[in-house]
Amino acid sequence: MKRPAVSRQELFARTPVPKALLAMAVPTIISQLINLIYNMVDAFFIGRTGNSYMMAATTLTLTMVMMNVSLSNLFGIGGGSLVARLMGAGKGDKARQVSAFGFYGAALIALCYSLLIGLFLDPILRFLGASDATIGYARSYALIVTVAGSLPSILSMTLAHLLRNTGFSTQASAGLSMGGILNVLLDPLFMFVLLPRGQEVTGAALATALSNFVACAYLLFAYRRASREAPLSMSLRAARTLERAHVRALFAVGVPSAILVGLFDVANICVNIIAAAHNDLVLAGMGIVMKVERVPNAVNIGICQGMLPIVAFNYSSGDHARMRAVIRTARLSGLAVSATCLLLFQLFAGQVARVFLSTSAGDGASALTTVGYAALFLRIRSVASPVQFINYHTSYCMQAMGNGRSTLAHAFVRELVFYIPYMFLLDRLFGETGLAAALPVGEACGAMFALFLLHRTIERAGRERAQ
């Protein structure tokens, strides 16, 4: 019974850094990529219709889906980081209480989010930029994926975070990957076989919701099995007896992490609103790019999520030299991925855009215009990839060390001081091209601020250890 726990402690504390990071990050990267396919496959199959208005509608609802990620981070990243630190400090019983609190907290907040969206769906869609031509498609998708499907989606991601931070990275990745693979298989079945022509968006939504339910069921099973060896629990009593100090510690990391993704979602909402003000085809083109650019982001977030429990464990155990080595190795890996994707997007932007929207079906003229916008936006926005990784990396490092204040400061400054103001300014000066250019400019400014915060956090940790 204790042998697996010892092997995970060996992984976190003594396994060579590249090997340890590889063991934790590879399953996470795979699940991130499959989960990305899971989210992109709807756009891919909808693109086969050649209907730019359907594509614009799914772009609008992406912000609602991304809010699921934000809410799952509240208890998944916050709880998972704290569990890893408690494990490093040898406090397994407290870690078990934290995991139970995270589980029930995620379920409750998911239900509240579903209710809120259900009550105010049409006003929210109009605020996001839905036109008369897109609101019907957007409503259909949001009712199924967000209103009915947020609970299994948020719970799945939270369970995956908790599993990963106790060393069960493979099981966490398998659950999320299962949902992605199933969605790839179900999308064409629901969209082009079971439902009539014109209902492709509804079919995509049904496939996504069903996949979420299956993934959640598997992760619940994996979580219960892992609880035999790791400090994981679904006991309501354990959740209710969690000390206030640990609740505060969970939210100290979870709230900034949720706000970080939430503000990213707010930024995407602003992009959609500004793009929609130009026209629906600009919105559709931007929507394609916002999905494509998630490829390097998915790999890099996988690296960061694999890094987080190792950094948290060694931070808590006092081995700061190993912690710094993990941080450096992860940083170099992510920058290499970003540079490679940047080069590929510059060379093949037009071909990538055509993958997501057919120019030979439906309204060919509108589709060609949309693809042209997408190729232009992709070449501009992909320049942000390396500095965007620096923002992710530094944020995850600070979360691992329990520094919620710096994480929160970074989130607000990155989005509200830099990116969103640049978005409105550059769009006013240069139109839709300026809107695309706001991402690399804003992310570069955010990255410089993030590196300053991380340097200060590591220096403070060193002083505390010396004392």
DSSP string over 159-226: HHHHHHHTT-HHHHHHHHHHHHHHHHHHHHHIIIIIS-TT-HHHHHHHHHHHHHHHHHHHHHHHHHHH
Alpha-carbon distance of 341 to 101, in angstroms, equals 39
Q: Which of 340, 436, 333 is CA-nearest to residue 390?
A: 333
* Close Cβ partners of 349 (under 8 Å, ≥ 6 residues apart): 374, 375, 376, 378, 379, 382
Helix axes 244-278, 404-412, angle to 10 degrees: 10
Alpha-carbon distance of 140 to 121, in angstroms, equals 10
Q: Which two tokens stand for residue 330?
A: 């992860």
Per-residue model confidence (pLDDT) at position 129: 76
Q: Which two tokens stand for residue 93?
A: 């019983």
> Which 8-state DSSP code applies to residue 361?
S
Per-residue model confidence (pLDDT) at position 467: 59
Per-residue model confidence (pLDDT) at position 7: 56
Per-residue model confidence (pLDDT) at position 32: 75
Q: What is the pLDDT along the chain (467 residues), one digit of tens a residue?
A: 334 444 567 777 788 888 888 888 888 787 777 767 766 666 677 766 667 778 777 777 877 887 888 888 889 888 888 888 888 777 878 889 999 999 999 999 999 999 999 999 989 888 877 778 888 888 888 889 889 888 999 999 999 989 988 878 788 878 887 887 888 888 888 888 888 787 888 888 898 889 889 999 999 999 999 888 888 888 888 888 888 888 888 888 888 878 877 887 788 888 888 988 888 788 888 888 888 888 888 888 889 988 988 888 888 877 788 888 999 999 999 999 999 999 999 999 888 888 777 666 555 677 788 888 989 999 999 999 999 999 999 988 888 887 778 888 888 899 999 999 999 999 999 999 999 999 999 999 999 999 999 888 877 766 666 55
Q: Using an 8 Å Cβ cutoff, are 28 and 172 in contact?
A: yes
Q: Which two tokens stand for residue 67?
A: 């809010």
Give me the residue label for tokens 């530094």: 394
Q: Which two tokens stand for residue 393?
A: 């990396």
Q: Using an 8 Å Cβ cutoff, are 4 and 146 in contact?
A: no
Measured CA angle at 168 (ends 162, 171), to 5 deg: 100
Per-residue model confidence (pLDDT) at position 2: 39
Per the structure, the complete domain to which residue 26 belongs is given by: 3-466
Per-residue model confidence (pLDDT) at position 53: 77
Q: Which of 344, 347, 343, 374 is CA-nearest to residue 358?
A: 374
Alpha-carbon distance of 143 to 147, in angstroms, equals 5
Q: Using an 8 Å Cβ cutoff, are 395 and 260 in contact?
A: yes
Alpha-carbon distance of 131 to 124, in angstroms, equals 12
Per-residue model confidence (pLDDT) at position 5: 43
Q: Using an 8 Å Cβ cutoff, are 153 and 130 in contact?
A: no
Q: Does the model's pTM come out above 0.75?
A: no
**Domains contained in the chain, number:** 1
